[in-house]
């Protein structure tokens, strides 16, 4: 999450790691390969582990 916060403060959305094949039935705007410039200050971070644990954070303004 800290890397995403730094990116948001610098005006970029970091790319999603290990995302290779988009699902045509789930049209999401996933940032792939290169960071995306943004002026958005709203941030949602979702993380999961191999053991099934999940966490989410919503940040408003950095």
Nearest alpha-carbon partner for 39 in 17, 15, 7: 7
Q: Is the Cβ–Cβ distance between 30 and 22 less than 8 Å?
A: yes
Checking if the pLDDT of 37 tops 80, the result is yes
Task: Break the chain into its structural domains and give their ranges.
Answer: 2-60
Helix (H, G, I), strand (E, B) or coil at 21: coil
From CA 1, how far away is CA 20, in angstroms rounded? 21
Cβ-contact 59, 42 below 8 angstroms: yes
Q: Taking residues 31-37, report their average pLDDT.
A: 91
Per-residue confidence band for 57, with pLDDT thresholds at 50, 70 and 90: confident
**Quick one: pLDDT at residue 5?**
76
CATH hierarchy code of domain 2-60: 3.40.47.10
Q: What share of the chain is helix, strand, coil (3-state, %, to 5)?
A: 15, 30, 60
Work out the average pLDDT over 18-28.
90
């Amino acid at each position: 999450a800290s890397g995403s916060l730094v990116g948001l403060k610098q005006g970029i959305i970091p790319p999603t790691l290990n995302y290779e094949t988009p699902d045509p039935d789930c049209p999401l705007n996933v940032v792939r390969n290169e960071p995306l410039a943004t002026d958005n200050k709203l941030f949602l971070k979702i993380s999961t582990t191999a053991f099934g644990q999940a966490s989410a954070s919503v940040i408003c303004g950095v």
